[in-house]
Structure 1
Amino acid sequence: MPHPSLSSSRATATAAKSGFNYFMEGFNLIRRPGLRTFVFIPLMINLTLFSAAFYVALGQLETLFAWVSGMLPEYLSWLNFLLWPLAVVAMLVVMAFVFSSVMNWLAAPFNGLLAEKVEQLLTGKPLYTGNTTDLLKDLPRILGREWLKLKYYLPRALLCLALFLVPLVGQTAAPVLWFLFSSWMMAIQYCDYPFDNHKVPFDDMRFALRQTKGTSMSFGAAVTLFSMIPIVNFIVMPVAICGATAMWVERYREAYRHPTIAPD
């Protein structure tokens, strides 16, 4: 099937709106009364699981530091006061990245619903995506879509990580390439929810994002940067979904509309 042109979609987009602007718009959208419930549910799941994992990880860290303290000579005991906060911050950053991946799987059905409600709010036209029973029946397809993203991500991520082992390249180009790749993947991850609500194939979605690569990359870069900030990373997922849906409505919807729009 040929890819539809995005020219009409771009022509109707808000003038010169960047991907970063769309991401920041998500902060306003999550506060809208009609969306709070759909933001609250995945946020509570995220907070509960993250808190439990952090509690377990903190216990393991305490055990590790007790062992390190026993190995250090007395005159180096002051290192504990320096290393402990650094270790906690490092653990928070690593857990933030891991949880963003895990939560995208666990919260995938809720994320699709949030994207649906945001689109309805922005367009004034409801999407017909079925009832709760239909959602449960659709779970294998939704999780299959997440699997497609994971299959796309893993080999490319491993290749980027391998570059860190290359002398010179690993210290210079590899970190930049990793950031750019992470930004691209964040755009794919969150823009996919409104595309998938319209049953747009995964390859077509990637094609659309490549056609507006500057916007896509600046959106993904914003998501990546905010995901690195402890505490703030808890709300990045709903903010990114809201921002990505706003981008879908203004830049892609007219070109990729699917007859899931309920009749007036």
Structure 2
Amino acid sequence: MRDFGAGFGYLLQGQKWVGRNGRWFGFGLLPGLVTFVLYVGALAGLFYGADDLTAWATPFADDWGSPWQGLIRNTLTFLVFALGLFLAVITFTAVTLLIGQPFYESLSEAVDRGEGGEVPESGLPLWRELWISARDSLRVLVRVAFFGILLFAAGFVPVVGQTVVPVLGFCVSGFFLTQELTSVALQRRGIEFKERLAMLRGRRMAALGFGVPLTLSFLIPFVAVLLMPGAVAGATLMARELNGETAGDAAADDDARDPSRPGSVHFRKN
């Protein structure tokens, strides 16, 4: 539980950082606002269309009497919307980071600069960074979809589906949410997707401590938008610790690649 508290501590530190730097808070709100509007529309459509979807998917229940028809269809409608909400929480960060790549890169660099030392840069053009971010987000979403399908199926199990499954769902969401957010800083350091994932698996409880409270807060409308700038700042602080950095440390590894090669790590002096 100590590591869980450490992860939560980074989340709080990030919110405090943007609180002390109001300009960056406002700067980081813009991508989240755009994504929020898109997701509200999508979830509203799912909410009003879930009944028709479940009726279409269960033609075998057309002739069932009360209460069985209502029970099966209402349960399925709830699970469909819960799955949609689960995916929305996970994909919100990925889509927001993709839309706001230049915004959050700058914010993350400002956090690194504030910690002292040198500021790592990927040295890649924006289009290349966007491509890598989209590709890695897709890898995350494939994993999330896999777990989501398993949890969706387990939701039909009596008692377990209403108790254990939601808890597991929040843990899965929290872990991959942390993975998405720390990728902003770790990608700039030239750390590949699999290595980033291994870092978080090695500090699983810290990842959950950061991501699970954030996932729960994202269930409250508009809160996700307000917390995103601080979440990126906190994830940058966490990424520094995962990478073995302290204030004033250079972020380059001993075996850093040639700066002239794509994907190598560059550093900018303060």
TM-score scaled by length of structure 2: 0.67
**1:109 to partner: Cα distance:** 4.0
- 2:219 corresponds, among 217, 222, 228, to 228
**1:252 to partner: Cα distance:** 2.1
- 1:28 corresponds, among 13, 16, 30, to 16
User: In terms of mean alpha carbon deviation, does 219-228 or 94-103 score higher?
Assistant: 94-103
Unaligned runs of 5+ in 2: 49-80, 254-264
Q: Which secondary structure state, in structure 1, belongs to the residue aligned with residue 267 of structure 2? A: coil
CA contact (8 A) 1:108 1:143 kept: no
Whichever residue aligns with residue 199 of structure 1, its letter is G
Identity, % of aligned pairs?
A: 25
**1:112 to partner: Cα distance:** 3.0
Equivalents in 2 of 1:128, 1:27: separation in Å? 23
**1:99 to partner: Cα distance:** 4.0
Whichever residue aligns with residue 146 of structure 1, its letter is S
CA RMSD of aligned residues (A): 3.6
Change (3 A) 1:123 1:248: farther
User: In terms of mean alpha carbon deviation, does 145-154 or 101-110 score higher?
Assistant: 101-110
Whichever residue aligns with residue 174 of structure 1, its letter is V
CA contact (8 A) 1:109 1:139 kept: no
Equivalents in 1 of 2:40, 2:182: separation in Å? 29
**1:116 to partner: Cα distance:** 2.4
Whichever residue aligns with residue 123 of structure 1, its letter is G
1:46 aligned to 2:32?
A: yes
CA deviation profile, 1:164-186 (whole Å, cap 9, x unmatched): 12233212221111111111112
Equivalents in 2 of 1:165, 1:61: separation in Å? 20
- 1:195 corresponds, among 186, 191, 194, to 186
Whichever residue aligns with residue 31 of structure 1, its letter is G
Tell me the matched-pair count: 220
Equivalents in 2 of 1:198, 1:242: separation in Å? 16
Equivalents in 1 of 2:205, 2:172: separation in Å? 13
Q: Which has the higher contact order (CA 8 A, sep 6+)?
A: 1
Unaligned runs of 5+ in 1: 1-14, 63-89
Equivalents in 2 of 1:243, 1:53: separation in Å? 24
**1:137 to partner: Cα distance:** 4.0
